[in-house]
Every structure is written in C-alpha cells, then in structure tokens.
C-alpha cells in the first residue's frame, strides 16, 4: 500500500493493476473514487461494466446493463426485442436469456 501502486492487487491513492483499490484506479477490476477499467465500481467510473454514480462510457449497450429487480430487466428485454432475463450475481438481473456475443 502506498501513494502510487502498480501490481496485481495494488491499494493506494493512484492504483494501476489487475484489481486496484484506491482513489484513482486503472485496472481490470477497479474500486475507488475514480475507476477506469473493464469491471469498475466507485463514484466516477469508465468501462464496459461501470457501476458508479457517474458512469462514463463511449458506447452503452442496454443488454449489458444490470437491474436491481427482475421486472426492470424484463421490461428492458421487451424493449430490446429479446426473450427472458438472467441473474448477474446475487443482487442484479440482466435482460435477455444470455449475454450478447
């Protein structure tokens, strides 16, 4: 742990790595105030599976969005023209029976 961390699981003010946790992150899985990566969680996030209060993305595919209720995911599936919904972890639902290819 430190101010600037680079590694597999770095934790600090600026973190770069596979799983980064800190104030500013660049990682595959980033958790912090500002997180950039594939699977990001924090206040300001950028990435294909961003789950922050402020989500910055270049493109948003509604089929990748997760919803807290099954009903919301079913409504999104109807709007997308696909069948069914599926679970994403223990808390979320996603539209369509499966992920897009």
Does position 84 have pLDDT exceeding 90, yes or no? yes
Residue with the larger pLDDT of the pair 96 and 56: 96
Does position 53 have pLDDT exceeding 80, yes or no? no
- Listing DSSP states for 11-64 in one string gives EEEEEEEEEEEEEEEEEEEEEEEEEEEEEEEEEEEESTT--SSEEE-S---GGG
pTM above the 0.75 mark? Answer: no
Does position 75 have pLDDT exceeding 60, yes or no? yes
């Amino acid at each position: 742990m430190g101010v600037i961390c680079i590694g597999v699981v770095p934790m600090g003010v600026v973190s770069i790595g596979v799983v980064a946790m800190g104030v500013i992150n660049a990682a595959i899985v980033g958790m912090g105030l500002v997180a950039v990566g594939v699977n990001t969680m924090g206040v300001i996030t950028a990435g294909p599976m961003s789950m922050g209060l402020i989500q910055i993305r270049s493109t948003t595919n509604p089929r990748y969005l997760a919803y807290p209720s099954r009903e919301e995911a079913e409504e999104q599936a109807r709007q997308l023209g696909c069948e069914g919904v599926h679970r994403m972890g223990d808390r979320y639902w996603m539209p369509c029976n499966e992920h897009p290819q």
